[in-house]
Amino acid sequence: MKVLGHRLELLTGLLLHDVTMAGLQELRFPEEKPLLRGQDATELESSDAFLLAADTDWKEHDIETPYGLLHVVIRGSPKGNRPAILTYHDVGLNHKLCFNTFFNFEDMQEITKHFVVCHVDAPGQQVGASQFPQGYQFPSMEQLAAMLPSVVQHFGFKYVIGIGVGAGAYVLAKFALIFPDLVEGLVLVNIDPNGKGWIDWAATKLSSLTSTLPDTVLSHLFSQEELVNNTELVQSYRQQIGNVVNQANLQLFWNMYNSRRDLDINRPGTVLNAKTLRCPVMLVVGDNAPAEDGVVECNSKLDPTITTFLKMADSGGLPQVTQPGKLTEAFKYFLQGMGYMPSASMTRLARSRTASLTSASSVDGSRPQACTHSESSEGLGQVNHTMEVSC
């Protein structure tokens, strides 16, 4: 933990080295009607659908960090050298509203039984959070990222595989840039690497004057087409955002996210001493999502040899909610590429790519050398170049 302590003192200025791994992969899925496993949108109007499903095994913690307390829920315990799965939700949500549908999906259980899962709630966004006092300064996006090593240290994780959505994807990307040795892989949904220009800032300011906070946040989460055509799902989220998340605390998080700076990344070789994410990354966006342009631009700034771009057909702003099955399949393949899931446990999507790997890895976590934290010369698996998958 000496290295971790040292990194807590040095929050900026780390130089990232190149990591080689063959093949930019682009996954395109055929159209499939959005689904919510075992639920229709009207059922989501009940908070039980979001907040009470399969919560019995989770343990809650409040962890002290350099920038205040973080509410964290965790299931399982660290398993050998295997990383933890750490999630960070989007603005307007918390870990339950953002990830319950995805992590309660049946096929995800095959993954989570092999990993400890750690959900992080941004300060004051958890269910039942007390309102921050007048004058409270909400942490910046950089400070939110700098809070995460305290979580890693508290639970004794060696490193994590992060899953972030929207604002949470930005936070996890910042975390990986500042503390690259703590992050083995990232799944970034709806990430926007750009700060807001003055025109965007003015539009957001005007929207806040003419709309309620939940409605303003909904325009961030859903496309205009979804807001018009998927009214039941949108209404269920409007209700949850307004009733479950403390509105004053949400306003502070919303303001901070909209004042973020550009994510300081460039594709290796494009500029001198370019910074980029050095771990394997899977970028995810729905083909009808407001964040599509931002995700495409982020893809253009990452190392193509370790980046997977997944554009999900017939999916809007919350693919982990509307298409949990497809995202689970892609995540399983992503883990297999990192050497963590045996081919026998993979779904049809991943099994179809088994021949692309020169060796299969074991459940115990023998990883290909191309991975960030390789500890063995065995299993020198490489992934082929661009692929298209139907499922």
68 backbone φψ class: left, alpha, beta (φ>0; ψ -120 to 50): left
d(CA 69, CA 67): 7
Reported pTM: 0.77
Residue ranges of the chain whose pLDDT lies below 50: 1-55, 344, 350-391
3-class DSSP state of 87: strand
The answer as to whether 114 is a domain residue is: yes
The answer as to whether 376 is a domain residue is: no
Rg (CA), the chain: 20
The answer as to whether 38 is a domain residue is: no
Q: How far is CA 220 from CA 42, 250, 324, 366, in A?
A: 22, 13, 20, 40
114: DSSP letter: T
In this prediction, residue 212 carries a pLDDT of: 92
The answer as to whether 362 is a domain residue is: no
The answer as to whether 349 is a domain residue is: no
The answer as to whether 35 is a domain residue is: no
Nearest to 70 by CA among 140, 151, 167: 151
14: DSSP letter: P
Structure token pair of residue 353: 């790519």
How many structural domains comprise the chain? Answer: 1
> Which CATH number belongs to the domain containing residue 161 in this structure?
3.40.50.1820
* pLDDT tens digits, one per residue of 64-106: 999 999 999 999 887 778 899 999 999 999 999 999 999 999 9
Sign, Cα dihedral of 52, 53, 55, 61: negative
In this prediction, residue 375 carries a pLDDT of: 34
The answer as to whether 139 is a domain residue is: yes
* pLDDT tens digits, one per residue of 128-145: 999 999 999 999 999 999
Q: What domain range is 63 assigned to? A: 58-340
In this prediction, residue 58 carries a pLDDT of: 87
Nearest to 161 by CA among 86, 70, 268, 261: 86
Residue type, 49: A
